[in-house]
Amino acid sequence: MLTALAIREVVLIDRLDLGFENGLSVLTGETGAGKSILLDALGLALGARADSGLVRHGKEQASVTAEFSLPAGRHAIDAILAEAGLDPRNGPLILRRVVTADGRSRAYVNDQPTSVGLLRRLGDALVEIQGQFDQRGLMDPSTHRATLDAFGGLSSRVTAVSNAWTTWRQASEVLREAEAELARARTDEDWLRHAVAEFDSLAPGSDEETQLAEARALLINAEVVLEAMGTAVDALSGDTEANGAGGADMALARAQRALERVADKAGHRLAPALAALERAVAEVQDAAAEIRSAASDVEGDSGRLGEIDDRLHALRDLARKHGVAPEALPETHRRLADRLAALDSQGGHLTTLVEAERAARHAYETQASALSAARAAAAGKFDKAVASELPPLKLEKAGFETVIERLAAERWGPAGVDSVAFHVATNPGTPPGALSKIASGGELSRFLLALKVVLAGANPVPTLVFDEVDAGVGGAVAAAVGDRLAQLAERLQILVVTHSPQVAARGAHHWHVAKHVDGNGVATTVAALDPDTRREEIARMLSGAAVTAEARAAAGSLLDQAAGSLS
């Protein structure tokens, strides 16, 4: 609740510090005394639009600080502070607004600089003002759906709809992305199929280009290579025509026979040499066989040079076409084939996603329809409860109706498929319409009072302010207004600016607003009234400037009646 309000240099107010308590607080005073300035100042601290005209003449700036006491534990305010990155509250919540003479303003929350927008969000969660301010709260049709849900206790149904909405949106997003990806793939489908077919036809092997290049180089030099191979075989095999001294294998054989003749006379000293010669003979024979085999291969491939040239040309052309190195062709082939396979299988995958999206939508519509039915039931009870509050407030000819309409599909959302609006008709036979467009100022205040009485248990805003809710009524109607304000004050903190003695008498706390002229000019002051001064103020409200004994007696009677009703 609002516990303190400090006002500095606002219009007629020089310096003012007010402390507030729970229950019903009334502010009274002569017309023009400055009661509306107090509400202007409070609205400023709550994020209302700033105006340089609020700065007291001759001063550089005006400031208003509002202090609130909040219950322990989690509160809606905590979520707003966390979202804004501000320090969590530790004790009272203090909102401050400074407006300079040139119209600029600054906002603070617990002495931390912040935006006016955040101040307004916090203010909306803390105080609802019905008066000369921006039309918020019940005056804002966008709040009516949540108000009806709170009255009907539909929070669990709203949560279910919100969760179903999130699931549907996620399924729809996945489907849209898959459809977009498939559309992109379809634009390349002809090229992709041609490319994969070309790869399939050529079937490039791993490192094939390197192997073919080596084979080509060998075949180009086949004559020289074969001649060298022949010379090598002759040298190894002992062709006497090529080497009169005999081949390497013959020379090794002669050395081996010479040593074997004297091996028994040399003991074991020649055994390693003989073993080495035996290995050398075998190696020479193996080398000669390998050379002959290689020569045979070269001779056998000599006719494939044209074929190898064509294959190399095809591989290199394909690599250039796809902008890769020849050795990367197998990987490119695999990647393109995978894309084509995915494209061919996406039809089935897309069907699965379509079915999932359709199921999620159906689940949302089912939950939303159940919520709509619950809203219709709650609206009937709400309308009946509001209607019962209208006659005592001199609105017996008026009507109230909660209008629920199904939104177009594109306007559905986490709160369901309904729009909710509170409509009134002030006279029989006239069509109902929006509160702010149909009701006059006095009627509007009383309609809102009736709504607030009905919604008292569901209203999350702890402080309500009414500016002249009793305008244009008196006697029994004013008494009914006071009675309902007192009822509200049992659940919420209520501040009311009033000209009605019947309403003023019901207040648990009474402030008197007055305007004085002194050496510094005109100034507005606010004083808390004790029982005697309060009786005198109510007598003034009853009789006017000249307070009579009869007026004092009537004021006493009103106060006694109010005290009796409280007891």
* pLDDT digits 0-9 by tens, 308-340: 788 888 889 999 999 999 899 999 999 888 878
Instruction: Find the mean pLDDT for residues 130-146.
Output: 71
The dihedrals phi and psi of 269, each to the nearest 5 degrees, come to -70, -30
133 has a pLDDT exceeding 50: no
Tokens 């502010």: give the residue: 27
pLDDT of residue 298: 65
Instruction: Find the mean pLDDT for residues 214-219.
Output: 72
Q: How far is CA 405 from CA 321, 328, 418, in A?
A: 62, 63, 5
73 has a pLDDT exceeding 80: no
Q: What are 355's two structure tokens? A: 């079915």
Decide which of 142 and 440 is more confident.
Answer: 142
Work out the pLDDT band at 4, boundaries 50, 70, 90: very high
Top mean-pLDDT range of 162-166, 197-201, 306-310, 541-545: 162-166
Tokens 């180009």: give the residue: 220
Decide which of 445 and 384 is more confident.
Answer: 384
- Any idea where the domains of the chain sit in the sequence? 2-153+390-528, 190-339
Task: Give the span between the Cα atoms of 540 and 551, in whole angstroms.
Answer: 7
Range in 53-57, 129-133, 552-556 the model is least confident about: 129-133
Percent with pLDDT over 90 in the chain: 39
Range in 27-31, 66-70, 97-101, 562-566 the model is least confident about: 562-566
| Mean per-residue pLDDT of the chain | 85
Task: Give the span between the Cα atoms of 96 and 112, in whole angstroms.
Answer: 10
Neighbours of 238 (CB within 10 A): 19
pLDDT of residue 164: 97
Decide which of 27 and 437 is more confident.
Answer: 27
What is the SS3 assignment for 287-300? HHHHHHHHHHHHHH
Q: Which CATH superfamily is domain 2-153+390-528 in?
A: P-loop containing nucleotide triphosphate hydrolases (3.40.50.300)
Task: Give the span between the Cα atoms of 384 and 455, in whole angstroms.
Answer: 13
Instruction: Find the mean pLDDT for residues 147-152.
Output: 93
Name the E strands within 92-161. Answer: 93-100, 105-109, 112-114, 127-130
The dihedrals phi and psi of 174, each to the nearest 5 degrees, come to -60, -45
pLDDT of residue 245: 54
